[in-house]
Amino acid sequence: MRQPRLLIPAGPTHEPIDAVRFLGNRSSGRLGVALADEAARRGWSVTLLLGPTPLRPSENGIELVKYRSCADLEARLGEQLHQHEILVMAAAVSDYRPVAGQADPFGKRRRDADRMTIEFERTPDLLAGCSARRKPGQMLVGFALEPRSRMLESAREKLERKGIDLIVANPLETMESETIDATLLATGEDEPIATTGCGIDKPAFAAWLLDRIEEAREANARKGGARRDAATA
């Protein structure tokens, strides 16, 4: 199979409250950058959509596109998705943002009132949006950081709700750890298809996940070939 084109959104989003303040999260983007570097080492063509983080990939040849907010990332995905065969959605997208009119992107809120209320609205589910307009043969991969006690059922529910091919479930308890303890679920498979078994560091996880994606692509290509053979028999 020819080397795939990979699109990786990574890092947090910053949802502006005013020109100096934002709603953000603690994602560093390290995992997505490790995935981009590993894919580039394999000769894949990689576009990294990178949120507000000082991290940068170390491999040459990675196309780097910066974004800041969920709306920015949504626009970048709209431009880029159709040019790639694989989307690995590693961005930590904010679930809420200030409703339009509450944020003042060019001004600065004063400290004059004793209390402040900001109304937030739910952000669109970007991964579900990508799934709704995917091309045949595109593979979509998501992440689910979940409490260990209900990790598999929550990840399975997200896999189905977002209409994606694979989801990487990670225990919430390992957040900000140096290592990753991942379980991979696939659409159409009742049981997890792979697990790292124990905590592995982010570069090792990146190699592990790209191996699993390659296997899944090969299996899909074989199924497609078998379907074509059956149709022409």
**Residue 197: strand, helix, or coil:** coil
Toward ligand CTP, which CB reaches closer, 39 or 126?
Answer: 126
Instruction: Identify residues 138-157 at the interface with ligand CTP (CB under 6 A).
Output: 142-145
Instruction: Identify residues 203-232 at the interface with ligand CTP (CB under 6 A).
Output: none
Question: Does 93 participate in binding ligand CTP (rule CB under 6 A)?
Answer: yes
- What's the number of CA atoms in the CB half-sphere (13 Å) around residue 44? 25
State which of residues 14, 158, 202, 212 lies at the interface with ligand CTP (CB under 6 A). Answer: 158
Q: How far apart are CA 149 and CA 59, in angstroms?
A: 38
Q: How many residues bind ligand CTP (CB under 6 A)?
A: 13
Least Å distance, CB 90 to ligand CTP, is 7
Kindly tell me the burial class for residue 114, based on how many C-beta atoms sit within 10 Å of its own C-beta (0-12, 13-18, 19 or more).
exposed
The answer to whether residue 170 is catalytic is no
Stretch of residues binding ligand CTP (CB under 6 A), selected from 34-42, 86-94, 110-118, 171-179:
86-94
Toward ligand CTP, which CB reaches closer, 102 or 154?
Answer: 154
165 with 149: CB under 8 angstroms? no
Angle between helices 30-41 and 202-232 (to 10 degrees): 60
Cα 117–121–127 angle (5° rounding)? 145
Residues of this chain that interact with ligand CTP (CB under 6 A) are 89, 91, 93, 95, 123, 125-127, 142-145, 158
> Which residues are identified as catalytic?
25
